[in-house]
Chains A and B, each alone.
Chain A
């Protein structure tokens, strides 16, 4: 019953996406220039498209799962995801639009004139995108396992195929309206069941959700502290601040997000669009906590079976019996699917662009091959990642972005003395330390609490280190004579 309802809802969303996508492609093709067409889109639609691409499985499934497992502190991730857009408004949206660069490697070439740094940026795009794709594919594998009982790997492989195919159909993703539609699907399909559940469970359960009981090893006192305590190391403030640094500054450097500001006609509009995004994200992030809090009362068994990331999908069926429960489950599963599809296709396209355009200098024909290769590697990486929390892995992707592209963009835009050597050294140091820490954290268990936290979320030290490297190395060299002009050009009204 649940499986049938879920499949029907997911099918309807797919068909609607395709229809809206075809309409959008048609409109773009009949105009002489694609960019002119995109200029007719109002800032509201544009912002909704950005939010649609940004709200991923980490937001729909991961936040609720982590709230159930570790406590309400998980919502600091959401605060950081949103605060990132304040940093984007203040630091990059306007100048990025004026630079005329679509991607971060594009920007590196504009600002530093170095093909080598462009290639380095292309490599880092791959690392960030793969780290970001793995938790999306994990989410897909998990949700499919829940609604239809197929093994985890079937969902992962299917996810790779569906996303590759949706890009191959072409144009679908590029239509702003499809992304905007996906934002609405995610918001409605998460918000409506959440509100219904809050009303349906009654006063007693609601009160119980606010005064949690002990579950497993986790005492209620520890759980109800609204801070993140990574791997239970006992350093909540350090963990929370490191996560906030990673998510806020990482949003600046996410390759697939930066690209979206080009659809605004002017720098002024780009800034305004980013402000609307903050509002849209703020509304969405009110709801995931509901699933985590109610899940603590109604589905505590998920903590024991290490399946907390599934709570958003499991909870409605457990709380509400019969047909209505199935329908609510189908709604949430569809919201999760929309989150997975829109984010993954954006990620995979950015990844393929990095592979084919920045690293191997190929044309559009190679892009298709790159999509296939990118999806294949992401599937391979996702297969053994079933036990990792969605939010933790997404946190790593943000940490790498915050330690590499964030300093490159911020210093490139606001500091005239940045040199090619400085940028390259900073990028290399940031990429190696942040990725290295994440890998170490996944495979080892350090004995010291500090080391545990600083590996599990390395942004607290890798971001300052990357900034410092760029500044110190640049100060020892001389910037190109056109460097100041390149910077001033980014701020000319």
Chain B
């Protein structure tokens, strides 16, 4: 092994917790820019809208695909390349949809963050 000193790694919250014992409220890390509360609330609201939208879509995909298989048993009898359509939905089709859903969420969330950071500093487009 190398002679370099080992560094004990703890999360910032654990360090704070260990340092203060058990006081009543946590010492919060300061809000970074945009520091003003109104802007922070606006970012929060925008992010919450995006999150709700993604979760609702996720529900539609999961309950919709399994619901379709349950409601239409005929999907078991129609086959593509010898494989029942309902099997294809379950084994192949859902994963790409889930991936697209997550990609869409990341794009929206990052765009909202970028807009707010730029706006907060007053040098945005």
**B is bound to A:** yes
- A residues sitting closer than 8 Å to B (CB atoms) are 26, 29-30, 32-35, 72-73, 75-76, 79-80, 82-83, 85-87, 89-91, 94, 99-103, 106-107, 109-110, 113, 115, 207, 210, 224-227, 236-237, 240-241, 244, 248, 262, 268, 271-272, 274-275, 278-279, 281-282, 285-286, 289, 357, 364, 414, 480, 482, 485-489, 491-493
Contact B6 A113 (CB under 8 A): no
Contact B26 A275 (CB under 8 A): no
* B74 vs chain A, min Cβ distance (A): 12
Contacts of A207 in B (CB 8 A): 82
Contacts of A102 in B (CB 8 A): 10-11, 13-14
Contacts of B105 in A (CB 8 A): 86, 89-90
Contacts of B96 in A (CB 8 A): 282
Contacts of A225 in B (CB 8 A): 69, 73, 76, 86
* B114 vs chain A, min Cβ distance (A): 8
- The interface bits of chain B over 97-109 (1 if a CB of A lies within 8 angstroms of the residue's CB, else 0) are 0110111011001
Contact B63 A100 (CB under 8 A): no
Instruction: Kindly name the residue among A35, A275, A480, A492 whose own CB sees the greatest number of chain B CB atoms within 10 A.
Output: A492
Contact A110 B51 (CB under 8 A): no
CA separation between A218 and B35, bound complex, in Å? 63
> Which label, helix, strand, loop or mixed, suits the secondary structure of the B interface?
helix
> Which label, helix, strand, loop or mixed, suits the secondary structure of the A interface?
helix
Contacts of B114 in A (CB 8 A): 493
Query: With contacts defined as CB atoms under 8 Å apart, how many contacts are there between chain A and chain B in the complex?
Result: 183
CA separation between A488 and B87, bound complex, in Å? 44
Contact A79 B47 (CB under 8 A): no
B12 at the interface (CB under 8 A from A): yes
Range for the number of chain B residues in contact with chain A: 35 or more
Cβ-neighbour of A491 out of B7, B44, B84 (below 8 A): B44
- Would you give 8 A-B contacts (Cβ < 8 Å), ordered by A? A35-B9, A86-B98, A91-B55, A102-B13, A110-B26, A113-B24, A357-B14, A480-B25
Cβ-neighbour of A488 out of B12, B31, B55, B99 (below 8 A): B31
